[in-house]
Amino acid sequence: MNRYPPLKSLLAFDAAMRNNSFSVAAQELFVTPGAIGQQIRKLEDWLGLTLFTRHVRLIQPTPEAVAYWQRIQPALAQIADASQKLRDSRNAAVWISMPPSFAAKWFPGRMARLLVKHPLLQLHLNATAALVDFDQENIDLAIRYFDGKAPHLDVTLLFGDEARVYCSPAYASKMGIAEPADLVRATLLVTTVQPHWPQWFRTFSTLDDHAVAAIPRIHFDQGLVAIEAAKRGQGVIMASPLLTESEVAEGSLIEPLPLRMAAPNAYYVVHPARQTLRPAAAAVKAWLIEEAAQIAV
């Protein structure tokens, strides 16, 4: 007797256990429910015991099945993971995730340099504010704006960040902004990424908390929209210099008050600490670090 059980049967058994259904397991493996049942019976014959009690529209794993699956499932996951990594080891495709504002404002102007350096690279960009779940999503690298504390991740600092104040030249002139107290006449554009106005006023102005609280505000959950609003003379924004490079260069935004405060968060490139990056992903990470080293924030 072969010391290994039928491997197709193991895959069918694993799918049935994970989904608690022969029908859903069949959909996952692109076979019929009858084929799943047949494979389960083969495994039961090989093991010499019943793995499921069958009822109308219901299957129930036996205690022996649960115990058996708990022992073999990690091994099946390791086989799948090792096989996927070997297959992808020479794959030139790289999936990278980053915040929408970073993807729109910092990355596009530099992407061409990456592709010139690595012409065979197939880059897949995922712009999202949601945190990447590396266990569930097909993502190699992520740019994350946070405090750098993530024990389960390999974390490399790309850029420290600052909170700077910007508005259009016309708005600065209209509101007569020459010192922090002048912002009582302005509208503050507040973003979820840089919500540090109270701390900024305590650091740089003599205004009390009541006076600061009375300043009109517009709140944005997208930095891109807030930057556009500032360009159109809708108020004063607190933003990262990394995200306002092009606007400052073209003159649509200025710093009316060059008072800069260190931000508590920074931009990091992260990936699972327990996994070795594929060569293509490692090349993209190295390029990001090189590119970051050339920028003085």
Q: What is the pLDDT of residues 193-238, one digit of tens each?
A: 999 999 999 999 999 999 999 999 999 988 999 999 999 999 999 9
Which CATH number is associated with domain 7-88? 1.10.10.10
Report pLDDT for 276: 85
Give the CATH architecture of domain 162-262.
Answer: 3-Layer(aba) Sandwich (3.40)
What is the model's pLDDT at position 90?
Answer: 65
Helix (H) or strand (E) holding 64: helix 63-88
Domains 7-88 and 162-262 share a fold: no
On whether the CB atoms of residues 98 and 143 are closer than 8 A, the answer is yes
CA distance 214 to 223: 23
C-alpha distance from residue 40 to each of 66, 72, 78, 80, 296 (Å): 14, 15, 22, 20, 62
Per-domain boundaries in the chain: 7-88, 93-161+265-293, 162-262
> pLDDT tens digit string along 32-47?
999 999 999 999 999 9
Q: What per-residue confidence (pLDDT) applies to 1?
A: 59
Q: Tell me what pLDDT residue 88 has.
A: 67
Residue 195 is predicted with a pLDDT of 93
DSSP per-residue codes, 127-170: E-SSPP-TTTS--SEEEEEE-S--TTEEEEEEE--EEEEEB-HH
Dihedral of CA atoms 85, 86, 91, 93 in degrees, nearest 10, equals: -10
Pick out the chain residues at pLDDT < 50: 297
Pick the CATH number of 93-161+265-293 from 3.40.190.10, 3.90.960.10, 3.40.50.261, 3.20.10.10: 3.40.190.10
Is this prediction's pTM over 0.95? no
Long-range contact set of residues 33-36: C-beta below 8 Å, sequence gap at least 24: 36/12
